Amino acid sequence: MRALVQRVAEAEVTVAGRSTGRIGPGLLVLVCAMQGDDAAAAEKLVARVTKLRIFRDAADKMNLSVLDIGGAVLVVSQFTLAADTRTGNRPGFSTAAPPGEGERLYLHFAQALRDLGLPVETGEFGADMRVALVNDGPVTIWMDSADRS
């Protein structure tokens, strides 16, 4: 699975003018299931995201995780993270998981965060969403469950 993680002061996702998720300080996580991903890949990514020390401590150093600060997480599905831009000008998305599998893993990812006690809000899988955020820092980190064992 792939994720683009942003430290935010606040973030909100809307679908057709209605809010589906809104958080204060925490993380906005844009997530994409790739072909071949499974529940273990989702859980591995959850572990990495929740331990990522990108929040400031008392000495103003990035030394705390979202768990440490009691932050929230807004999870938004974004299959375009699977974009293949190696040739041409139009990205290909054939490496993304099929929609049914992508949705299952997206929901599993969000639930695994909840199981750790984090407040979690979500977008709506497959919908045309608008995401508004105040990126804090800015801090934006790219993560892929395939990067480490």
Active site residues: 78-80
The answer to whether 34 and 45 are in contact (CB under 8 A) is: no
The answer to whether 112 and 42 are in contact (CB under 8 A) is: yes
Between CA 132 and CA 101, with CA 144 as vertex, the angle to 5 degrees is 80
Q: Could you give the CA distance from residue 91 to residue 128 in angstroms, rounded to a whole number?
A: 18
- Evaluate the CA torsion angle 76, 79, 82, 86 in order and state its sign: negative
Integer angstrom CA distances of residue 143 from 12, 15, 90, 119 = 21, 26, 23, 21
SS3 helix, strand, coil % of the chain, rounded to 5?
30, 40, 30
Q: Is 122 left (phi over 0), alpha (psi -120 to 50) or beta?
A: beta
